[in-house]
Amino acid sequence: MIGDGTGLRITHTGSSTLHSDSSFFNLKNILCVPDIKKNLISIYQFCITNNVSIEFFPWCFLVKDLLTGVVRAQGESKGGVYEWSGFNTTSSSPTAFSISKIAPINWHFRLGHPSLPILNVIISKNELNICSMTKQFSCNACQCNKSHKLPFSISTLESHAPLEIIFSDVWTAPMYSIDGFKYYIVFIDHFTCYTWFYPLQHKSDVKPTFIRFKAIVENYFNHKSITFYSDNGGEFTALKDFFQLHGISHHTFAPHTPEHNGISKRKHQHIVETGLSLPTHTSLPQKFWSFAFSTTIYFINRMPSWSLQYFSPFELIFKKSPNHAKLCIFGCLCYPWLRSYSAHKLDVRSKPCIFLGYSLSQSAYICFDP
């Protein structure tokens, strides 16, 4: 590279010896640059290779042994340039010496901003002309355009009783369900991982749904809700006054950081993946998603989890084992007893129906008559 920042073509590299009648010097990393008309010596490289120092005067310069200070060679000053004559090289090939080495950051720019490990491999394999290998450097362009999120640390959040910490989130369906729902909301207890599921027709239904949920669960479990985690959606900020009135701390997550709400997001994934498997298995239309997701929550709450030492959320919150004997296959053919609803004695006693899940308010099944 020359003074204006441009580079010159290098055709050959090598090494040689510079010698006279009284002394000789080793020359390493010689670069042959045909476009340079004069042979130039890198002062830094020359001193390092030969263990010498160079002292400059207006009329000459002296090459001294670095340890003893003995003068080993002398050059002249001509026309504002220090010239060294009286030496021969052991090679007849043209010899050129670069004034300065190229910084690794400049090779980073030349090669199109590769990563540091790749840059070091290229420099090492091709023996590129650099000042010194580097362990790190800072490129503003790379910092601005190659940045990625740092991994989130493991949560240190702790709870010691049911309802102490509640996570919540709203999920939007791509279609209305057969019973007229477009959304659902989940409330997840941090202590037991038990999940409550409520389908919604409108997002504005979140506020009355939570108020109803809070009254039921606090009365049943005799515990107060202390902390509520959600995103910054308007359906949750509408509860601000209610939270303050009942002493509930409302914590929200920074925008575009779903990792902070990982409990709710993973629960959505679990619900949707399992919930879509149920109607697919029995070839039911997707418009039955609200029943499929509700049944999925019923299963998830009764399923042992490794994070709970293979207890189920149902066991932890109700202190008893779930009744697996009453479980049926979602979407299967069933014949509910209809005699009690017959208008007269000649009516049928049952009809072929589709099993859609479990009632949360009665010890009963939900069946659909096509």
| Judgement on whether residues 248 and 295 belong to the same structural domain of the protein | yes
pTM exceeds 0.75 for this model = no
Which tokens belong to 238?
């509408």
Q: Which of 327, 331, 282, 269 is nearest to 303 (CA)?
A: 327
- pLDDT for res 156: 65
What rounded mean pLDDT belongs to the chain?
Answer: 84
Task: Report, as an integer, the average pLDDT of 142-170.
Answer: 79
Domain end: 49, 65, 89, which one? 89
Same domain, 250 and 306: yes
Q: Is the pLDDT of residue 67 over 90?
A: no
Q: Are residues 187 and 295 in the same domain?
A: yes
Could you tell me how many residues make up the chain?
370
Domain membership flag for residue 349 = no
| Three-state secondary structure call for residue 57 | coil
Give residue-wise pLDDT tens across range 169-194: 999 999 999 999 999 999 999 999 99
Residue 137, in any domain of the structure? yes
- Note down the domain range covering 76: 12-89
Q: Tell me: pLDDT of 131 over 70.
A: no
Ordered DSSP codes for 251-278 = EEPPTT-GGGGHHHHHHHHHHHHHHHHH
Is residue 6 in a domain?
A: no
Instruction: Clarify whether residues 113 and 181 are in a common domain.
Output: no
237 and 301 inside one domain:
yes
- pLDDT tens-digit profile of 83-122? 887 666 655 444 444 445 677 777 778 888 888 888 888 8
Residue 306's pLDDT band (cuts 50, 70, 90):
confident
Q: Does residue 363 fall inside a structural domain?
A: no
> 291 and 203 in one domain?
yes
Is 136 in the same domain as 199? Answer: no
On whether both 23 and 169 belong to a single domain, the answer is no
Show which of 306, 324, 342 is a domain's final residue: 324
Tens-place pLDDT, residues 252-300: 887 776 666 678 888 999 999 999 999 999 899 999 999 999 999 999 9
DSSP string, 219-243: HHHT----EEEE-S-HHHHTTHHHH
Domain identity same for 244 and 134: no
Question: 201 pLDDT exceeds 80?
Answer: yes
Residue 191 within any structural domain of the chain = yes
Q: What is the mean pLDDT of residues 58-75?
A: 84
Instruction: Please indicate, yes or no, whether residues 179 and 275 belong to a single structural domain of this protein.
Output: yes
CA distances from residue 80 to 3, 59, 222 in whole angstroms, order as listed: 17, 9, 95
Q: Report if residue 333 sits inside a domain.
A: no
Identify whether residues 119 and 239 lie together within a single domain: no
Split into its structural domains, the chain has a count of: 3
Q: What would you report as the CA-atom Rg of the chain, rounded to the nearest whole angstrom?
A: 40
Single residue among 21, 56, 89 that ends a domain in this structure: 89
Same domain, 318 and 169: yes
CB atoms inside a 10 Å sphere around CB 358: 18
Is 331 within a domain? no
Q: Residue 82, exposed/middle/buried by CB under 10 A (0-12, 13-18, 19+)?
A: middle
Burial 50-79 (b: 16+ CB within 10 A, else e): bebeeeeeeeebbbbeeeeeeebbebeeee
